């Protein structure tokens, strides 16, 4: 249930509603929008009559949410969530958020070179993995904390924010020193211990759609993080498995407008994992922006032919910079901007 308060509801009225909701056995999540306050009442609860809440002073409207996700629902924050990274960089606002970088951190030389290239092309966020969830246990597993150190140094030199994958709750504390956004990979979208742990801290979380997950399952995974009190969640469409096997995955572009309608959370697209082939990344990146994505996650490598992971889907610095130029032309057509 979502309780929308009147624009001129007083703090006392809001508090009385909160007390009543808590007394009825719900947890309360408060969203203070530009014009009015919205209260999300969630939890396992006894029978209740939502009209009881409609009658409380200061209440404008009570909406019973029939979808299983509540806090992730658009009703909870109709104006949309903007995740603020600082220094004027946001995800979910008018400006498109582009995170670019290699699949994995490999060496100081590699990560510094790529950081310089992606910053020059206009990206504000650097992506790179130090803990890699590889399908084979014999494949390169990432450089761990040493990799994160290299990534942070390279990103700081270029004034870039950092997003990197966390695979286990035990890594959160250590990784907090190095990352600005925690990435939850497709393989961990339903690792509920990890999601709960990320809900108990305040750094933004980039939650990737599982390769066999429905949109509803993705939003329910987001709900785990939100219900812990961390509202800084960004969703990511990274391709799903379908009967079509020409490309690595099927990038579900339609999921972008569907999610925009269902949820207030920002959604970015990852055309690199979504296609698995470098030549297909620019057209899918352009399509995602045209479809309303709030940003992109793109793999870029200075020497893709020798990359330790995902070289085939990594753009060269030149290809990335050309793509950014094209996105700057497309963005205004859909009321967005890319500086």
- What does the alpha-carbon distance between residue 263 and residue 265 come to, in Å, rounded to a whole number? 5
- What does the alpha-carbon distance between residue 27 and residue 163 come to, in Å, rounded to a whole number? 31
Q: Which tokens hold the place of 336?
A: 């967005």
Q: Which residue's entry shows tokens 């910053």?
A: 119
Q: How far is the CB of 168 from ligand PEP (least distance, A)?
A: 14
Q: Name residues contacting ligand PEP, limited to 279-308 (CB under 6 A).
A: none
Stretch of 134-142, 171-179, 304-312, 322-330 lying at the interface with Mn ion (CB under 5 A): 304-312
Q: Which tokens hold the place of 327?
A: 């996105």
Q: Which tokens hold the place of 249?
A: 């995955």
Under 8 Å between Cβ of 273 and 186: yes
Over the window 232 to 271, marking each residue x when it contacts ligand PEP by CB under 6 A and - when it does not, the resulting string is ------x---------------------------------
Interface residue with ligand PEP among 124, 273, 280, 301 (CB under 6 A) is 273
- What does the alpha-carbon distance between residue 9 and residue 16 come to, in Å, rounded to a whole number? 11
Residue 68 contact partner, candidates Mn ion, ligand PEP, none, CB within 5 to 8 A by sort of partner: none
Maximum Cα–Cα distance across the chain: 66
Binding of ligand PEP by 185 (CB under 6 A): yes
Q: Which tokens hold the place of 123?
A: 């990206």
Minimal CB distance residue for ligand PEP: 185
Nearest CA to 222 out of 18, 83, 33, 32 is that of 83
Under 8 Å between Cβ of 262 and 217: no
| Pairing status of strand 83-86 against strand 89-91 | antiparallel
In sequence order, what DSSP letters do the residues of 60-87 get, joined into one string?
Answer: EEEE---SS-STTBGGG-TT---EEEET
Q: Name residues contacting Mn ion, limited to 307-326 (CB under 5 A).
A: 310
Interface residue with ligand PEP among 40, 58, 92, 129 (CB under 6 A) is 129
Q: How far is the CB of 200 from Mn ion (least distance, A)?
A: 27
Q: Residue 114 or residue 186: which is nearer to ligand PEP going by CB? A: 186
Q: Residue 70 or residue 208: which is nearer to ligand PEP going by CB? A: 208
Strand, coil or helix: 118: helix
Binding of ligand PEP by 207 (CB under 6 A): no
Residue 186 contact partner, candidates ligand PEP, Mn ion, none, CB within 5 to 8 A by sort of partner: ligand PEP
User: What are the angstrom distances between the C-alpha of 260 and each of 83, 94, 284, 288?
Assistant: 15, 14, 18, 13
Q: By CB under 6 A, how many residues form the interface with ligand PEP?
A: 9
Q: Which tokens hold the place of 250?
A: 């099927």
Q: Residue 75 or residue 238: which is nearer to ligand PEP going by CB? A: 238
Q: Residue 62 or residue 151: which is nearer to ligand PEP going by CB? A: 151
Q: How far is the CB of 182 from ligand PEP (least distance, A)?
A: 12
Binding of ligand PEP by 186 (CB under 6 A): yes
Stretch of 31-39, 71-79, 179-187, 240-248 lying at the interface with ligand PEP (CB under 6 A): 179-187
Q: Residue 124 or residue 132: which is nearer to ligand PEP going by CB? A: 132
Strand, coil or helix: 295: strand
Interface residue with Mn ion among 103, 255, 281, 289 (CB under 5 A) is 103
- What does the alpha-carbon distance between residue 185 and residue 81 come to, in Å, rounded to a whole number? 21
Strand, coil or helix: 138: coil
Stretch of 8-16, 185-193, 261-269, 285-293 lying at the interface with ligand PEP (CB under 6 A): 185-193
Q: Residue 129 or residue 199: which is nearer to ligand PEP going by CB? A: 129
- What does the alpha-carbon distance between residue 289 and residue 285 come to, in Å, rounded to a whole number? 6
Residue 203 contact partner, candidates Mn ion, ligand PEP, none, CB within 5 to 8 A by sort of partner: none
Residues forming contacts to ligand PEP in the complex (CB under 6 A) are 103, 129, 133, 185-187, 208, 238, 273
């Amino acid at each position: 249930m979502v309780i929308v308060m009147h624009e001129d509801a007083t703090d006392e009225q809001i508090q009385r509603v909160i007390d009543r909701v808590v007394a009825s056995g719900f947890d309360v999540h408060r969203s203070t929008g530009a014009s009015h306050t919205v209260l999300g009442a969630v939890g396992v609860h006894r029978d209740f009559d939502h009209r009881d809440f409609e009658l409380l002073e200061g209440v404008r409207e009570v909406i019973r949410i029939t979808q299983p996700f509540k806090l992730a629902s658009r009703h909870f924050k109709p104006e949309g969530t903007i995740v603020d990274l600082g220094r004027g960089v946001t995800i979910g606002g008018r400006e498109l958020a582009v995170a670019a970088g290699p699949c994995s951190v490999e060496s100081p030389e590699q990560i510094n070179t790529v950081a310089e290239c992606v910053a020059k092309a206009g990206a504000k966020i650097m992506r790179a993995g130090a803990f890699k969830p590889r399908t084979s246990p014999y494949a390169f597993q990432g450089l761990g904390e040493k990799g994160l150190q290299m990534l942070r140094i390279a990103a700081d030199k270029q004034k870039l924010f950092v997003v990197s994958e966390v695979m286990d709750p035990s890594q959160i504390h250590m990784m907090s020193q190095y990352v600005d956004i925690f990435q939850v990979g497709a393989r961990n979208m339903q690792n509920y211990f990890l999601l709960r742990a990320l809900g108990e801290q305040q750094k933004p979380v980039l939650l990737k759609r599982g390769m066999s997950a429905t949109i509803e399952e993705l939003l329910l995974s987001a709900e785990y993080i939100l219900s812990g009190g961390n509202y800084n969640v960004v969703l990511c469409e990274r391709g799903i498995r379908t009967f079509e096997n020409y490309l690595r995955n099927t990038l579900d572009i339609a999921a972008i407008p569907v999610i925009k309608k269902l949820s207030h959370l920002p959604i970015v697209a990852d055309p690199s994992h979504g296609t698995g082939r470098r030549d297909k990344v620019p057209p899918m990146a352009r399509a995602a922006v045209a479809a309303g994505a709030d940003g992109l996650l793109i793999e870029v490598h200075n020497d893709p032919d020798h990359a330790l992971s995902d070289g085939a889907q990594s753009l060269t610095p030149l290809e990335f910079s050309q793509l950014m130029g094209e996105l700057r032309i497309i963005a205004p057509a859909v009321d967005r901007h890319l500086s």
